[in-house]
Amino acid sequence: GKVGIIGVPFEKGQKKFGVELGPDAIRNAGLLKDLTTLDLDVKDFGDIDYYPETTGDIINMPHLSHVAACTKNLSNRVQEVMNENRVVVTLGGDHSVSVGTIDVLWVDAHADLNTNITSNSGNVHGMPVALLTSELSDYWPHLPGMDWQKPMLSIRNVAYIGLRSVDRYERLVIEKFGITAFGMEDVERYGIHDVVHMALSRIDPHCNKSLHVSFDIDSLDPLEAPSTGTPVRGGLSLREAIHLMEEVHRTHRLNAIDLVEVNPKIGDDNCVKLTTEAAIHVLQAALGHTRRGLKVPAGITD
Ligand code: ARG
Ligand code: MN
Ligand code: MN
Ligand code: MN
């Protein structure tokens, strides 16, 4: 298998400093070495940089020009990586960077489904799903700098796993459009294995699509991943997240994965260590690590 890593040191989709250090925190915790151990051909495509163009102001979206310029460059880089037939691993940065990738399984404590009108915070990391889906395009004003971004994703192709903090208008949209959403209650009721398979059968009933997973580290319980900007108690265990990713890997259709919202400025060194290690475990499971141990490569056994 071939993998391409992209770092997006971007923090302007929310208000806390530090999440821009996420890509390097995850790299420094040993991601590349750990993936190479899986016999993967790993190539680091470096970090995204960008120059914001001055645009008109949009109400309740203070850093739109930054989001627009950064996600546009990211989108081009993602295309480059895909052209080399590599699975794209995008390291955030905050969750607004997912506007530059296309995502199907959204693993998150939050729905990230606000528009600038419904958002209480004005933080773009609470808006990427609403920006990506065609059904919601009518609810947005014209966004300067975002013309490159066609909302090609249909809401039918999005499934949430792990929700436990959904704003009122987000819930309204989920119900109005019948978006597939498995919250922590469902994980409790059915177990993570069945939840993953129910989610996949809703968005990809014929098992023929390539899958994109957008993994917000805050989907995990803050006990397992404390260094993140909007933690919510009562989340997925690392074991559940690893199993989710093992099942995704078993489809052999994983095409792209985002790992976002790791903020090494939140909590002490131990918190950061827990969080970056959790991120690596999740990525390894997605890319084929098995808890049964790896096989001896062909030709080495006697
Ligand atoms: N719903 C809240 C908001 O709109 C929180 C969003 C948190 N998003 C995230 N990617 N962590 O501000
Ligand atoms: Mn998110
Ligand atoms: Mn979140
Ligand atoms: Mn299973």
* pLDDT band, very low/low/confident/very high, at 103 (cuts 50, 70, 90): low
CB of 220 closer than 8 Å to CB of 54: no
Name which of 292, 302, 287, 237 is nearest 41 in CA terms. 287
**203 pLDDT more than 70:** yes
Is the model's pLDDT at 220 over the cut of 80? yes
ipTM score: 0.92
For 140, half-sphere exposure in the C-beta direction (CA atoms, 13 angstrom radius) is: 26
Ligand number nearest CA of 220 is 3
Per-residue burial over 233-266, b if 16 or more Cβ lie within 10 Å, else e, is: eebbebebbbbbbbbbbeeeebbbbbbbbbbbbb
Phi/psi of residue 11, nearest 5 degrees? -130, 0
- CA distances to 37, 66, 247, 298 from 293, rounded to whole Å, are 12, 43, 16, 15
Q: What's the DSSP call for residue 218? A: G
At 199, is the pLDDT very low, low, confident or very high (cuts 50, 70, 90)?
A: very high
Higher local confidence (pLDDT), 98 or 235: 235
Phi, psi of 170, rounded to the nearest 5 degrees: -65, -45
Nearest to 69 by CA among 112, 12, 117, 121: 12
Task: Determine the average pLDDT of the residues in 264-292.
Answer: 97
Residue 269 has pLDDT above 70, yes or no: yes
Nearest CA to ligand 1 atom 11: 230
Span 50-76, pLDDT tens digits: 999 877 789 999 899 999 999 999 999
CA dihedral 243, 245, 249, 253 (to 10 degrees): 140
Q: What is the mean pLDDT of residues 76-93?
A: 96
- Residue 81 CB contacts under 8 Å (≥ 6 apart), including other chains: 4, 6, 45, 88
The answer on pLDDT for 109 being more than 70 is yes
Q: Are 23 and 9 in contact (CB under 8 A)?
A: yes
Ligand 4 centroid to residue 82 C-alpha, Å: 28
Ligand 4 centroid – CA 243 distance (Å): 6
Average pLDDT for residues 145-158, to the nearest whole number? 85
Mean pLDDT of 285-297: 92
Distance 164 CA to ligand 1 centre (A): 11
| Cis peptide leading into residue 93 (ω within 30°) | yes
- Highest mean pLDDT (candidates 6-20, 94-108, 150-164): 6-20
pTM of the entire predicted model: 0.93
Q: Give pLDDT, residue 43.
A: 98
Mean pLDDT of 126-138: 93
pLDDT digits (tens, 9 = 90+) for 229-257: 999 999 999 999 999 999 999 999 999 99
Q: Ligand 4 centroid to 53 CA: how many Å?
A: 47
* Closest ligand to residue 127's CA: 1
Q: What is the DSSP string of 124-193?
A: GGG-HHHHHBGGGGGGS---TT-TT----B-GGG-EEEEE-B--HHHHHHHHHHT-EEEEHHHHHHH-HH
Question: Which of ligand 1's atoms lies nearest the C-alpha of 228?
Answer: 11
Residues having CB within 6 Å of any atom of ligand 1: 95, 110, 112, 114, 119, 121, 123, 125-126, 167, 216, 218, 230, 261
- Ligand 1, atom 1, residue with closest C-alpha: 126
Instruction: Check whether 24 has a pLDDT greater than 90.
Output: yes
pLDDT beyond 90 at 147: no
Higher pLDDT, residue 46 or 204: 46
Mean pLDDT of 160-165: 98
User: 81 by DSSP, 3-state: which?
Assistant: helix
Contacts of 6 (CB under 8 A, 6+ apart): 45, 46, 47, 48, 74, 77, 78, 81, 88, 89, 90, 91
Specify the pLDDT at position 302. 60
Q: Which residues are catalytic?
A: 95, 108, 110, 112, 125, 216, 218, 261
Q: Output the six-digit token pair for 50.
A: 């960008």
Token reading at 4: 């391409």
Ligand 1 pocket test, candidate residues 112, 258, 263, most atoms within 8 A of CB: 112
